[in-house]
């Protein structure tokens, strides 16, 4: 077979290239009306290879909204002798729409006539892909613009590239105002001054303080206002260039809510005095410093008569006067705190017992002086109980002793100061007998699991809290407050809790088998939680019962979070990975570090019954309850309100967004078998 000529090979090559690129060529001579289409161009238009085609027919393939532009470009090309390019949309013979890219150039032929040479490429697939990318980009932009969080992109030199709509709202700048500027314009000093140096150091060393880590920092609005933000920065590569994307959340309101709730959790709003929980903390620190302290519990005698006769507003005014007088009397010798109602606490910091007692006597005498409001003069007295440090007591123990002494003062006729004397009392003997009985009860099935339902705001059961009940050998149910503290003191709570948890696992298995996803909550004491094998113990018990751990809620107290932060966090994280949900029990009664709560796998906060019930007393307590409910929303955790006993409380909690309710209004605790029987029926 003879070799093909160079002309034939060149023609085959051109045809092959046109086919692969889906591009066809043409030329057109207006003088003669001749129009040539290459085979691939005919393929694009769906025209047979042997079918004649005219210029008018060629133009008719283009959709009307594009045809006029193409005809104009052709006309201008012949007039001005320049090249041109354009995109058009055409419909082929079978009715299929094609996007095409057209290029053309005019040339003068040897005979002097003008001719248009050009190419048409089918770019339909490319066009649709670009449209999809544009739609995705628009969707992403719309999503970013509707987020609460701001999104800012900078280049490797810190220059702002993108500035989302939420960023505009947050900082007060328009996107046009900051694009092309260094991101340090959004920072206060010293962050602004150090930012470029930080980026440079990161790019050299790879050591990050924020990138890929996230932290709370300060930002600056256009007005100059400095505000707190949570900042998370991610490093990306775009078109071969390093960029940094920052996700920014304004936490001003969250910080303010935390500050308010922190204050309300530690101070009495009515008097501005520390509350009992704050007072406990102050006393504990004094004891830890091995410095002497005298604690006095001050109860105003018959104060309820003021409220009954003159009303609660007058009672509040008198309480404020009492607080002022106590402050004036104690001066810098100690602290004053307010408990619930008409009870106050006094901590006297003096080296000698005689001096401390003399100050307390002075204080007691000062309370006998009349209290004058704008409406009435009130004559009051107080029963005061005093406990003295020096033994092995902790803060709670000193307050308990002072409380006992106050009872002695009352029983002795009131208007007295009574000092607690350390001696073996009937309670000590009772505690010793209880300890012996508890040890004997282990492993005999005497520690029973009782369940109290948790319901949603429509009254539908969503789970329950497991409560330990002790049925002694005589069949008598012993109240928890008579044996739980003793069990914790002697660490008997550890084996007792295992018996309870085994019963809880049984309940969870029964619920799971019936397709119910109710969560069962169990209280865990710090003594249990800090055991080295606590996670393994929980796993083992639930594995033995073939019960799913993702239906278990573990309730811990706020104070546990401070016990051993590293161990607590590790234990919580391991259990959370297994599906366990953590709840802060009696939220608001301990030391609340809200940033700490955010950092831990906590899914639920239980609002203590006192806050629920006191909300009905006056507006100030109502504000505290509402602040707690709002805080749960800010922390993105669910809320459980305890101690719900009235329809009014249900209505209040429902209207203000409580998630779950628990209390006698809905159900009293019952044996787990009775609870299961009703739940599964």
- Taking only the tens place, the pLDDT of each residue in 551-599 is 999 999 877 877 678 889 999 999 999 999 999 887 755 555 566 777 7
What residues contact 675, with CB distance under 8 A and at least 6 apart?
Answer: 450, 451, 453, 464, 507
- Comparing CA positions, the residue from 335, 328, 366 lying closest to residue 350 is 335
166 CB-near residues (< 8 Å, 6+ apart): 144, 145, 146, 147, 148, 149, 150, 151
Question: 3-class SS at 252?
Answer: helix
- DSSP lists the bridge partners of residue 383 as 299
Q: For position 424, what pLDDT does the model report?
A: 36
pTM over 0.85: no
Domain 13-128 matches domain 147-250 at the CATH topology level: yes
Alpha-helical (H) ranges within 426-559 are 426-441, 484-489, 493-513, 526-529, 534-544
Is residue 617 helix, strand or coil?
Answer: coil
Query: Domain 147-250, CATH 3.30.450.20 — does that match?
Result: yes
CB atoms within 10 A of CB 253: 10
**CA-CA distance, 427 to 437, in Å (whole number)?**
15
> Encoding tokens for residue 39?
């085979």
Superfamily of domain 494-671: EAL domain (3.20.20.450)
Domain 13-128 has CATH 3.30.450.20: yes
Cα–Cα distance for residue pair 201/584, rounded to 1 Å: 41
CA distance 586 to 573: 21
Q: What is the dihedral of CA 143, 145, 148, 154, to 10 degrees?
A: 100
Tell me the residue length of the chain: 681
Q: Which residues pair with 228 in a beta bridge?
A: 218
- Count Cβ atoms below 10 Å from residue 545 Cβ, excluding itself: 18
C-alpha distance from residue 302 to each of 12, 16, 308, 408, 413 (Å): 113, 107, 10, 16, 12
pLDDT less than 50: residues of the chain = 1-2, 424-425
User: How far is the C-alpha of 191 from the C-alpha of 186, rounded, in Å?
Assistant: 10
For the chain, the 3-state helix, strand and coil shares in percent, each to the nearest 5, are 45, 25, 30
User: Domain spanning 256-418 has what CATH number?
Assistant: 3.30.70.270
From residue 477, give the alpha-carbon distance in Å to each of 347, 469, 572: 39, 7, 33
Backbone angles phi, psi at 161, to 5 degrees: -105, -45
Which ranges of 453-525 would DSSP assign to H, the alpha helix?
484-489, 493-513
Q: Where are the domains of the chain?
A: 13-128, 147-250, 256-418, 494-671
């Amino acid at each position: 077979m003879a070799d093909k000529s160079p002309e034939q090979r060149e023609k085959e090559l051109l045809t092959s290239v046109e086919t692969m690129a889906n591009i066809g060529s043409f030329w057109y001579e207006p003088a003669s009306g001749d129009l040539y289409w290459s085979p691939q161009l005919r393929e694009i238009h769906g025209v047979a290879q042997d079918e004649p085609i005219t210029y008018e027919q060629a133009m008719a393939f283009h959709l009307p909204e594009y045809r006029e532009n193409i005809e104009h470009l052709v006309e201008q090309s012949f007039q001005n002798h320049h090249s041109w390019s354009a995109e058009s949309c055409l419909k082929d013979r079978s009715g299929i729409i094609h996007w095409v890219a057209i290029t053309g150039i005019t040339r003068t032929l040897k005979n002097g006539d003008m001719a248009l040479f050009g190419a048409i490429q089918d770019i339909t697939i490319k066009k649709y892909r670009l449209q999809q990318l544009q739609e995705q980009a628009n969707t992403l932009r719309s999503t970013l613009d509707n987020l609460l969080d701001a999104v800012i992109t900078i280049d490797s030199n810190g220059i702002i590239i993108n500035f989302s709509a939420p960023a505009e709202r947050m900082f007060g700048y328009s996107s046009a105002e900051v694009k092309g500027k260094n991101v340090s314009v959004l920072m206060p000093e010293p962050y602004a001054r150090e930012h470029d140096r930080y980026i440079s150091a990161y790019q050299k060393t790879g050591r990050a303080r924020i990138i890929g880590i996230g932290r709370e920092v300060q930002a600056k609005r256009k007005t100059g206002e400095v505000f707190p933000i949570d900042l998370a920065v991610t490093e990306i590569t775009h078109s071969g260039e390093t960029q940094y994307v920052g996700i920014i959340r304004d936490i001003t309101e969250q910080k303010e809510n935390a500050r308010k709730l922190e204050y309300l959790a530690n101070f009495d709003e009515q008097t501005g005095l520390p509350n009992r929980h704050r007072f406990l903390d102050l006393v504990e620190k004094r004891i830890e410093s091995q410095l002497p302290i005298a604690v006095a519990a001050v109860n105003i005698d018959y104060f309820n008569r003021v409220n009954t006769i003159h009303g609660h507003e007058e009672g509040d005014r008198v309480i404020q006067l009492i607080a002022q007088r106590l402050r004036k009397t104690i001066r810098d010798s100690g602290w004053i705190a307010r408990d619930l109602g008409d009870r106050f606490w006094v901590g006297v910091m003096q080296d000698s017992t005689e001096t401390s007692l003399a100050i307390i006597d002075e204080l007691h005498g000062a309370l006998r002086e009349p209290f004058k409001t704008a409406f009435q003069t009130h004559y009051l007295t107080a029963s005061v109980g005093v406990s003295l440090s020096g033994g092995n007591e902790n803060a709670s123990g000193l307050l308990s002793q002072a409380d006992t002494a106050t009872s002695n003062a009352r029983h002795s006729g009131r208007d007295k100061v009574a000092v607690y004397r350390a001696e073996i009392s009937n309670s000590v003997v009772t505690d010793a007998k209880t300890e012996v009985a508890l040890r004997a009860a282990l492993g005999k099935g005497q520690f029973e699991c009782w369940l109290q339902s948790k319901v949603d705001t429509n009254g539908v059961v969503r789970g329950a809290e497991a409560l330990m009940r002790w049925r002694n050998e005589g069949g008598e149910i012993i109240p928890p407050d008579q044996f739980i503290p003793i069990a914790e003191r002697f660490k008997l709570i550890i084996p007792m809790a295992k018996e309870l948890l085994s019963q809880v696992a049984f309940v969870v298995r029964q619920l799971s088998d019936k397709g119910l996803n109710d969560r069962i909550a169990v209280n865990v004491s710090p003594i249990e939680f800090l055991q080295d094998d606590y996670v393994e113990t929980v796993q083992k018990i639930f594995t033995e019962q073939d019960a799913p751990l993702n239906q278990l809620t573990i309730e811990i107290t706020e104070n546990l979070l401070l016990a051993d932060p590293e161990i607590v966090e590790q234990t919580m994280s391991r259990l959370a990975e297994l599906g366990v949900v953590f709840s802060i029990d009696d939220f608001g009664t301990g030391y609340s570090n809200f940033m700490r709560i955010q950092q831990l796998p906590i899914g639920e906060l239980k609002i203590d019954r006192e806050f629920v019930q006191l909300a009905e007393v006056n507006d100030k307590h109502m504000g505290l309850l509402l602040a707690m409910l709002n805080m749960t929303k800010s922390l993105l955790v669910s809320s459980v309100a305890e101690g719900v006993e009235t329809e009014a409380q249900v209505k209040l909690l429902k209207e203000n967004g409580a998630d779950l309710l628990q209390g006698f209004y809905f159900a009293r605790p019952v044996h787990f078998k009775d609870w299961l029987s009703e739940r599964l029926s």
